[in-house]
């Protein structure tokens, strides 16, 4: 091998090694405009906004999972009531055969309580109207408990984009401040704050979208569960009226 060829080969290998080293160095360099940089370089306003969005996201996901579990339990209670309650000898026995935390047992007990307390001043009320009021109050109570937590999802879904927008406005404000202090609109002066503002916008949308979808889904499932509750209440009302003069209503 001639000295000239050897020199060219060595130069090529050196250039290749330097290129590989530079490529590896680029891979290990952290993104200076990512989420980690936002937290490390952000001021108290940016960090507070980010924490608020994180708490809103955690709260919405907690509500979604807990309400799904609760609605599944209500549907299970509905199947159990349909299979066992109407086969009992009377309303009292049917209610005692249901789980203690079942909303259907709660409605049955309130219906029995209303039918047995139709005395005194309450006796002046028509029995049909009084039993209807007792059962309706119990069903309204069940519906109110099933709607617990949905207001959180509605609030998060409607306000999270605006919280993210606030972070966006604050990031752009910081970018303008840095431009004014430096006297030049170089990319290194504005990239960080602008990237921070874009991240805030994305996080706000990422928090709001699952909350809105979860709210609509849970409302639909609540409607299905309340159809079972309303059907049970209507049937119970008919049974209590039909057995008002019999031993089925035990005082």
Q: Which residue has the higher pLDDT, 42 or 130?
A: 130
Specify whether the CB–CB gap between 198 and 168 falls below 8 A. Answer: yes
SS3 137: helix
Query: Is 26 in the same domain as 100?
Result: no
SS3 181: helix
Q: Would you say residue 250 lies in a domain?
A: no
Look at residue 113 in the predicted model and tell me its pLDDT. 81
- Residue pLDDT, tens place only, 11-41: 443 454 445 444 444 444 455 555 565 666 6
What is the separation of C-alpha 121 from the centre of its chain, rounded to a whole number of angstroms?
46
Give the number of residues written for the chain. 251
Q: Would you say residue 68 lies in a domain?
A: yes
Specify whether the CB–CB gap between 225 and 147 falls below 8 A. Answer: no
DSSP H helical ranges for 29-102: 35-41, 44-84, 91-96
Burial class (CB in 10 A: 0-12, 13-18, 19+), 164: buried
Query: Is 15 in the same domain as 61?
Result: no
Query: Is 85 in the same domain as 107?
Result: yes
Query: Is 197 in the same domain as 134?
Result: yes
């Amino acid at each position: 091998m001639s000295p000239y060829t050897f020199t060219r080969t060595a130069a090529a290998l050196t250039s290749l090694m330097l290129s590989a080293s530079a490529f590896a160095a680029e891979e290990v360099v952290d993104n200076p405009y990512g989420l980690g940089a936002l937290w490390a370089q952000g001021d108290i306003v940016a960090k507070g906004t980010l924490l608020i969005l994180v708490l809103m996201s955690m709260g919405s996901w907690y509500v979604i999972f807990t309400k799904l579990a609760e609605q599944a339990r209500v549907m299970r209670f509905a199947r159990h009531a349909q299979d066992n309650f109407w086969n009992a000898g009377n309303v009292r026995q049917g209610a005692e055969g249901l789980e203690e935390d079942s909303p259907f047992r709660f409605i049955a007990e309130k219906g029995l309580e209303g039918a047995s307390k139709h005395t005194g001043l309450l006796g002046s009320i028509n029995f049909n109207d009084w039993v209807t009021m007792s059962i309706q109050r119990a069903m309204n109570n069940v519906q109110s408990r099933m709607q617990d937590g949905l207001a959180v999802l509605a609030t998060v879904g409607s306000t999270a984009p605006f919280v993210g927008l606030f972070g966006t406005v604050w990031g752009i404000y910081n970018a303008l401040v840095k431009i004014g202090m430096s006297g030049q609109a170089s990319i290194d002066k504005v990239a960080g704050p602008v990237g921070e503002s874009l991240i805030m916008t994305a996080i706000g949308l990422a928090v709001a979208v699952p909350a809105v979808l979860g709210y609509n889904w849970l409302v639909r499932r609540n409607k299905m569960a309340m159809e079972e509750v309303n059907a049970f209440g209507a049937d119970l009302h008919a049974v209590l009226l039909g057995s008002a003069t019999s031993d089925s209503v035990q005082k």
